[in-house]
Structure 1
């Protein structure tokens, strides 16, 4: 059984999902893979303590503060590989970006492999079920391409600008999955 609540944000309506104790999803209305990790019935229930904590976290985030991800109980559904990638995303500092390639190297090391595909990492980043809190918007292509955000390229830009990221070396790709 899953529960959900909605939260209005500067990005539009957000839907948060929970198993009752942990946050299992956070989606921006209309994004790719909306509610995709909810494999069971979902019931609207606004008064769960975990939802109140998430609302407070989001309020602080959108007010320009840097709330700690570790203060929220997160339980995104996914296999071992995706869990490794999402854990790395949680370690990206507020206001900074990293590349898919650097995450691939780190995941390969953690999994005892010589190398890992940046495209595989891109798939895991793109299927992150807890948007904003697990900051997949902070991942860019090696060349500075703003590619691969399930919420769309304009929302990715808005989040990065909100965090004060230096956008001078980043660009919108002419074609790709984020457009």
Structure 2
């Protein structure tokens, strides 16, 4: 059974999805989600969603969350590697796709890794904010893509700079 919770925050409504194995999605609510007002109060919470809510509450008061949230990610080993590196980017900091690619290459003992492959892995990130792909920018310091849109990416980066 999949549990769903709607989390209201400065970037809009986030849809959190989890099953008994862990949290597997944090997404911006879309019109396709058809979220009528009754869904905001009647959705059930499981332990993984509760942990994610606590994590997001800490994030949105400007602290680096130190809460263990069990994740249930359906991903390739490469995606998981990129996402783990991305999770280590400090609150308020940024890095580039190329920096992550070079770190993976170094960790694997190979000459190079594609920054575009890193971008593709981040493009499939199912956990917005928690896997902070908004902190990854282009080599020229431009925002490049973001699943929730570059306006929200900039909003999150600006928000983090306030602290």
The equivalent residue for 1:151 is 148
The equivalent residue for 1:39 is none
The equivalent residue for 1:168 is none
Query: Match for 2:46 among 27, 45, 48?
Result: 48
CA distance in 2, matches of 1:110, 1:30: 38
Contact 2:101–2:118 under 8 Å retained in 1: yes
Q: Does 134-143 or 44-53 show the bigger shift? A: 44-53
The equivalent residue for 1:139 is 136
The equivalent residue for 2:37 is none
Q: What CA RMSD, in Å, does the superposition of the two structures yield over aligned residues?
A: 2.1
CA distance in 1, matches of 2:109, 2:90: 25
Which runs of 5 or more structure 2 residues have no equivalent in the other structure?
Answer: 34-41
The equivalent residue for 2:99 is 102
How high is the TM-score relative to the length of structure 1? 0.79
Contact 2:3–2:45 under 8 Å retained in 1: no
The equivalent residue for 2:24 is 24
Contact 1:18–1:24 under 8 Å retained in 2: yes
How high is the TM-score relative to the length of structure 2? 0.86
Q: Can you list the C-alpha shifts for 1:115-171, whole angstroms capped at 9, x where unaligned? A: 111111000011111110110000000110111111101100110111117xxxxxx
What SS does structure 2 have at the residue aligned with 1:163? helix
The equivalent residue for 1:4 is 4
CA distance in 2, matches of 1:129, 1:55: 16
Q: For residue 84 of structure 1, report the CA deviation from its aligned partner.
A: 0.4
Q: Does 146-155 or 58-67 show the bigger shift? A: 58-67
Contact 1:76–1:130 under 8 Å retained in 2: no
- Which structure has more helix as a fraction of its residues? 2
CA distance in 2, matches of 1:115, 1:30: 38
Contact 1:23–1:75 under 8 Å retained in 2: yes
The equivalent residue for 1:118 is 115
CA distance in 1, matches of 2:17, 2:83: 17
Q: Can you list the C-alpha shifts for 1:28-59, whole angstroms capped at 9, x where unaligned? A: 1239xx99xxxxxxxx9522121111111111
Q: What is the count of residue pairs matched by the alignment? A: 154
